[in-house]
Structure 1
């Protein structure tokens, strides 16, 4: 990118930020009636995060039918929008935080959650399931001060390590150990597509544990054994297109998963998408505890569908086993029945 192109790109980003900040003020002024203000809403085209958005909105609408949902993201959560919200918020309104991996160093939404805790101590703040892994001590101390200083925060932790970290750092919060909300879709859909081959669903960022060359070597081992395809859950779309087509895009991706006999993934939502389509999944390790801890949620009844591979040789063994086995492509709605149908009573 040359200098002029770089400057144009920077100006475009600033204009986009300005328009988003202006738009949120206008929309806030129109708010009336009982409202849930949902912070941390995703604006990037990662289908795992967008699936969380889909499931969160669905859960809120089902459990709070008299409420409208108003969403904020890291761009629209700033001083003027907070001041206007302070004036608009009513006594019956609710504050929620979107689920994700926000509780780690330098995540833009972690700042937002601290600010909401600081600015709205008189409102209950429910933070949907988070992976908690803050390493930077300065950021950790800021977060500890904000969350423990709020008298009524409920923080859901989406794995045991996050839960233990939260018990140590946030003793003043009400803590719940709770699975990712996208698991609520498992067992709710039936797919009858013909199944063939292996789908690799792999990330390409700092969280990946294996190099591209190592993955390619694993993929090549299936030559002559099974067809393979590779993809990621991140797609190239604008926030406008994503918001407009979220449900269709999610359904299309799930349908793609349902055409394969086995999935190999290092994405947590790649794992969950596989199970929504009742497709056996080989889970690779990542650079943190999100996957190794996340797979512990799955009960024994899922044993023929979830395999955690501690190395790539084991991943190959698991995959060849699944390819040669008969699989029943149907799982029970374990997570909705045992967790999300009961969450409201726990808040």
Structure 2
């Protein structure tokens, strides 16, 4: 039986991910993943869960050490795994828009000059020439850094400015695989950025029937710890590192479920978020795509996902809404 086109694309990109990563992972060597995304952005949780799914499905393994930025311990990493590669979580924060992540990345490179460090796929964007030069100096001093990037422009930029191995690789969220969507609640949903990467203010006053949302905020009672991973007695036999990983995984699963429920409510979607685009492909939902402040979605689509009929590159918000409204009149594709 022929797979639906979105599932064919997902499988193709997952295989491309493996072609990129297989040179840096072995069955008998531990690895670490740093910079767990403890933030409301469901797209970052999708990336994390794709990283976990890839390791489990391809190698039957889990990282020996994980951390967020604010609880990273170089000493604990050394004690837990004296050897083995150090991976840094992927996304769109390589550069100087989200300084905390770049600062952390460069601290890791400086602290572990003799360990291989692999950056899971990233988009690169800098505004400051001085910061480019600072990053170049740190990367140049580290002789074992591998930089995976999500688009050709990032690849060209890295080759021009950085002395390290650079490879083009799809976003890790595709390793999650197809996701079964929930039933839609309304024809069109606008999922539009409200952060530093937005392009102006999207005015939907002419479309009072279309909800305008961004990734929803978390409740004060968000699940962080054992509530999401079972009774405390079940954890007693586990090593501290595994307990820690399960807590973080539980938070990521919670956030992704929330995000999938949110975007599933639209039969068609209009978005300027890369991971609404990616999750819409995983769900098999049609969506019109605008771009963020520096072309991240356009660049990613040009490299990997632009050939799907599910995604329409809109020329304006009005154009995207018109396309999405038409798509919402069509029958829904069968669930994955």
**Equivalent of 1:282 in 277, 288, 292:** 288
Contact 1:47 1:235 (C-alpha < 8 Å) held by counterparts: no
Q: Which residue of 2 aligns with 1:15?
A: none
Q: Which residue of 1 aligns with 2:167?
A: 176
Matched, 1:217 2:205: yes
Contact 1:218 1:312 (C-alpha < 8 Å) held by counterparts: no
Q: Which residue of 1 aligns with 2:22?
A: none
Q: Which residue of 2 aligns with 1:139?
A: 131
| Aligned-residue offset at 1:102 | 2.2
1:167 to 1:218, Cα distance in 2 relative to 1, 3 A: farther
Matched, 1:164 2:156: yes
Structure 1 segment 31-70 matched on structure 2, within 5 A = 35-70=30-65
Contact 2:65 2:77 (C-alpha < 8 Å) held by counterparts: no
| Aligned-residue offset at 1:58 | 2.2
Contact 1:44 1:239 (C-alpha < 8 Å) held by counterparts: no
| Aligned-residue offset at 1:174 | 1.6
**Equivalent of 1:233 in 215, 225, 235:** 215
> Which structure has the higher relative contact order (CA within 8 Å, separation 6+)?
2
Contact 1:266 1:285 (C-alpha < 8 Å) held by counterparts: yes
| Aligned-residue offset at 1:53 | 1.5
TM-score by length of 2: 0.75
Contact 1:161 1:289 (C-alpha < 8 Å) held by counterparts: no
CA deviation map 1:66-116 (0-9, x unaligned): 554322222124xxx32454455423x220000022212152121121122
3-state DSSP class of the match of 2:31?
strand
3-state DSSP class of the match of 1:162?
helix
Matched, 1:309 2:301: no
Contact 2:273 2:297 (C-alpha < 8 Å) held by counterparts: yes
Report runs of 4+ in structure 1 exceeding 4 Å deviation.
Answer: 237-240
3-state DSSP class of the match of 2:110?
helix
1:299 to 1:100, Cα distance in 2 relative to 1, 3 A: closer
| Aligned-residue offset at 1:330 | 6.0
Question: Paired residues, what number?
Answer: 283
TM-score by length of 1: 0.73
Q: Which residue of 2 aligns with 1:208?
A: 198
Structure 1 segment 289-328 matched on structure 2, within 5 A = 289-296=295-302, 297-300=304-307, 302-303=308-309, 305-328=310-333
Contact 2:51 2:175 (C-alpha < 8 Å) held by counterparts: no
Matched, 1:189 2:179: yes
Q: Which residue of 2 aligns with 1:122?
A: 114
CA distance in 2, matches of 1:205, 1:119: 31
1:149 to 1:274, Cα distance in 2 relative to 1, 3 A: same
| Aligned-residue offset at 1:184 | 2.8
Contact 2:49 2:176 (C-alpha < 8 Å) held by counterparts: no
**Equivalent of 1:261 in 267, 271, 283:** 267
CA deviation map 1:254-277 (0-9, x unaligned): 244334320011111111121111
CA distance in 2, matches of 1:294, 1:46: 18
What is the root-mean-square deviation in Å for CA atoms of aligned residues?
2.6
CA distance in 2, matches of 1:237, 1:71: 25
- For structure 2, the 5+ residue unaligned runs are 1-27, 225-247
CA distance in 2, matches of 1:83, 1:216: 51
Contact 1:44 1:238 (C-alpha < 8 Å) held by counterparts: no
